[in-house]
Amino acid sequence: MPNSFFSKVFRHLFCVFLFSAMLSTVARAQAFFADFVVDPVTGVDRGSTSQIRKVDELTAVATFSSTGSAPIGRYIGSLGLSMPLETEYGGQIDVLGVLGGPDADGGLELRAGGLGFRLGLDTGSTLYLNYDYGDYRLGTNDLLPLDVTGVHETLALALRHVWMLGEDSLTGSVELAAKQRRDEMLGFEVTDEDLRLLRLGLMHETGALYGFRSRLALAATKGLSGLGASLEDNPLPSARGVTPDFFRLSFSAEASFPLHAATYVNAGVIGQLSHDSLPVSQRCGYGTNGYSRGFDRSYVMGDECLGARIELAHDFQPPSMASGALRRTQGFVAVDGGRLRDKGSEVFAGREDDWSSANWGVRTLQGNFLGEIALSHILSKPEGTVRQDKTRLWFQAAYQF
């Protein structure tokens, strides 16, 4: 069956992340990522233009990275524009464009774009309305003859509120989203999936910049039946045996603390629990390699997971505003690892696997420029259909205008 073949071949392909990964890249570009490099799992903060921070003036951010994969673009660039609105309680429009490639013929493999609108309310809450679109064509020498293409779209309405608790903050969010995915191979439709989601999230943050900091996050996501969602017996799901009527619980716990003036330990744990075989876009690891550096984005992915990372970082250039702009350079060594599980279904046997990698790198913030270059070595690799480089040199950079 075409869908069975497609699900097997593209189980771990980078195409599943599409737009959300680049949104998180832009978000990280607007704050130094030495302390927290992983996006919180909670609510509207995952895969949404609401990740982009509030701005006081017209702001543009350009990013470029080599953290992709050959089928959908080893190199990925984005340009985001944020414009504040003159409303009583504040508002903002965010626009983002993403390109990925090159394919074996030198063309584009990924094109994506998004539009976000936020409006402050008199209650202190913020209302979000976000839309994103992405289309791709798998572009390696082996995959080009299969003419694999696809279109993914998401529309989300969300409400977020932040409570200040002394030096701490508690963020609550609720989001209703509609996701649509269409994929073709050799001119035949192999995926036709519509999801309706309700997310509830909480995130607690405490600590001081360059001192001890911690962040705890919890999110519950329920797939809704009706409202245009795919039926349970959908013949063309994103993977065999998945259910659109699912429930998953995600969590993260992260901390950063100084050992002395210039040396920090950054550590974190993430996890996801579910009794269901989840649609691809709802799996742990979807759209990120934040806890699996050295792997292609979305290669490490499963219905359930428990992952950790620990990093020892040292400031070779301590934070300084002497030049009128913040400057900081930091080296780090890190280990990522964890275990994942696919639940299986009547048509797909479950599986368990693990992953780990060692990482060495340097990151720097020089005024409006932010960059990171790292060498990653895979220690253990989960089974997958896409070859992974055992050792990989990668970079990511951003500039704010």
**Domain edges within the chain:** 2-400
Decide if pLDDT at 37 tops 90.
no
pLDDT recorded at residue 35: 35
Give ∠ CA 3-6-7 in degrees, rounded to 5. 85
Decide if pLDDT at 63 tops 80.
yes
Mean pLDDT calculated for residue range 223-237: 92
Hey, CA dihedral for 28, 31, 37, 43, is it positive or negative? Answer: negative
Phi and psi, residue 107, nearest 5°: -95, 180
Distance between CA atoms of residues 337 and 356, nearest Å: 4
Give the CA distances from residue 182 to residues 70, 92, 244, 311, in Å, rounded to whole numbers and listed in that order. Answer: 21, 31, 15, 39
The two three-digit tokens of residue 307, written as one number: 């992952």
Distance between CA atoms of residues 243 and 225, nearest Å: 10
Decide if pLDDT at 11 tops 60.
no
pLDDT recorded at residue 28: 40
Distance between CA atoms of residues 218 and 206, nearest Å: 15
Q: Average model confidence (pLDDT) for the chain?
A: 83
Task: Provide the residue count of the chain.
Answer: 401
Report the CATH fold assignment for 2-400.
Answer: Porin (2.40.160)
pLDDT recorded at residue 45: 46
In tens, the pLDDT along 78-135 reads 888 999 999 989 999 999 888 888 888 888 888 888 899 999 999 989 999 999 888 8
Distance between CA atoms of residues 103 and 401, nearest Å: 30
Distance between CA atoms of residues 154 and 249, nearest Å: 21
Mean pLDDT calculated for residue range 262-286: 90
The two three-digit tokens of residue 260, written as one number: 């002395």
Decide if pLDDT at 272 tops 90.
yes
